[in-house]
Amino acid sequence: MRIADHEIITMRRRSFIKAGTLLTSGISLPVLAKKKDTKSTGRPTVISTWDHGLMANEVSWSVLQAQGTSLDAVEQGVRVVESDPLVRTVGIGSYPDREGIVTLDACIMDYHSNCGSVAFLQDIENPISVARKVMEETPHVMLVGNGAKLFAMSQGFKETNLLSELSKKEWESWKLAAKYQPIINIENHDTISSIALDSMGNLAGACTTSGAAYKMHGRVGDSPIIGAGLFLDNEVGAAAATGLGEAVIRTAGSAMVVEAMRNGKSPQQACEEIVKRIMKIHPDTKDLQVGFIAIDIQGNYGAFSLKRGFSFAVCDDQKGHRLVPADYLN
Ligand code: ASP
């Protein structure tokens, strides 16, 4: 079942302008699918987490409308969010860890179950594109830390200072007040996860984040972990997560959402089932927020979170762009 009742149509002028700029700048032109695949649902759809999902979806949607692949759509979409210094939880301008260093995690997956991932990556603005290069240019799935950075630079990515003046200032005052204790609560992390179905009936997903603000140096969450932050099976559907990564990893969250769909649950029911499972193993949910988005191979979608406040952006042919508040458990 599609969520339809409480959808809020929200079009953002700022993100329109950014998307337009990106597409005409020459760096992110959609790559057209080279071969036709057998399945054809004719229902392109893209879903992304949080309100910055709107900005991603505008770019993703223009790729999908040009008969581009879901892989290009999700990569190009989340890149815009990574490159926006005003988004404080993804890419440049993000909150740093408790040492004042911005470290980024990302992963990407295509309909052949190819995947690539980077974790604990520093000084590179677009980790999602590095993750794609890992997928396409190496025999590996995951590169981390300095190895990931050196690989990125060998692929032509530029070294960039990711710590904005604002983030530096806030981190300095955080250090005084928080006594250096890493905290993860429902306010200080908002990954962009994006999943899409293209006109060839193929799924892809991307997930990119700076993780939790003021985390321990070296901490990696669920977002770059295939099966936790993102998973898809092109015969079934795709799912992606946001929220406390540790809780998502413990349940192999996104993989379990896809498995629930394989077992007959709708995307909405599948997200609900795994959120409930997470709640069951976490007796104290005071500071815990976890949310999932999911889409099946027919283009039906759903989302659900543990707590109020999670929203997702969606775009399809029928209704265009909108931001939807997700249903939640408590
Ligand atoms: N899942 C991310 C992490 O734990 C954060 C988030 O999605 O809000 O690193």
Range among 19-23, 42-46, 154-158 with highest mean pLDDT value: 154-158
Ligand 1 within 6 A of CB of 53: no
**193 alpha carbon to ligand 1 midpoint, in Å?**
10
Q: How confident is the model at residue 284 (pLDDT cuts 50, 70, 90)?
A: confident
Q: Is 198 inside any structural domain?
A: yes
For residue 259, how many C-alpha atoms fall within 13 Å in the half-sphere facing its CB? 10
Q: How confident is the model at residue 25 (pLDDT cuts 50, 70, 90)?
A: very low
Mean pLDDT of 224-228: 98
Classify residue 52: in a domain, yes or no: yes
Is residue 114 a part of any domain in this protein?
Answer: yes
Q: Which of 191, 208, 242, 251 is catalytic?
A: 191
Residue of the CA atom closest to atom 7 of ligand 1? 242
Is the minimum distance from the CB of 254 to ligand 1 under 6 angstroms? no
Answer yes or no: is 78 within a domain: yes
Pocket test for ligand 1, best of 189, 215, 305 (most atoms within 8 A of CB): 189
Residue 253 CB-half CA count within 13 A: 36
Distance CA 93, CA 297 (A): 35
Can you give the pLDDT at residue 40?
Answer: 44
Crossing angle of helices 253-262 and 267-281, in 10° steps, is 130
> What percent of the chain has a predicted confidence (pLDDT) above 90?
78
Q: What is the CATH number of the domain that holds 162?
A: 3.60.20.30
Q: Indicate whether 54 belongs to any domain.
A: yes
Looking up tokens 């054809």, which residue turns up? 40
Q: Which atom of ligand 1 is nearest to the CA of 190?
A: 8
Report if residue 326 sits inside a domain: no
If 0-12 CB within 10 Å is exposed, 13-18 middle and 19+ buried, where does residue 53 land? buried
Q: Is 184 in the pocket of ligand 1 (CB under 6 A)?
A: no
pTM for the predicted model, two decimal places: 0.87
- Write down the mean pLDDT value for the chain: 87
User: Does ligand 1 come within 6 angstroms of the Cβ of 245?
Assistant: yes
Q: 191 catalytic, yes or no?
A: yes
Residue 310 inside a domain? The answer is yes
Contacts 24+ apart (CB under 8 A), 22-25: 22/59, 22/76, 22/79, 22/80, 23/59, 23/62
- Segment 186-214, tens digit of pLDDT: 555 689 999 999 999 999 999 999 998 89
In the chain the beta strands, taken as DSSP E runs, fall at 45-49, 104-109, 115-121, 142-144, 192-197, 203-209, 230-233, 237-243, 290-296, 301-305, 311-316, 320-325, 327-328
What is the pLDDT averaged over residues 241-264?
97
Containing structural domain, residue 238: 5-16+44-317
> Per the structure, how many domains does the chain have?
1
Mean pLDDT of 156-163: 97
Asked whether residue 223 is assigned to any structural domain, the reply reads: yes
Task: Please indicate whether residue 209, judged by its CB atom, sits closer than 6 Å to ligand 1.
Answer: yes
173 CA from centroid of ligand 1 (Å): 23
* Residue 33 scores a pLDDT above 60: no
Ligand 1 centroid from CA 185, angstroms? 10
Which atom of ligand 1 lies closest to the CA of 289?
A: 8
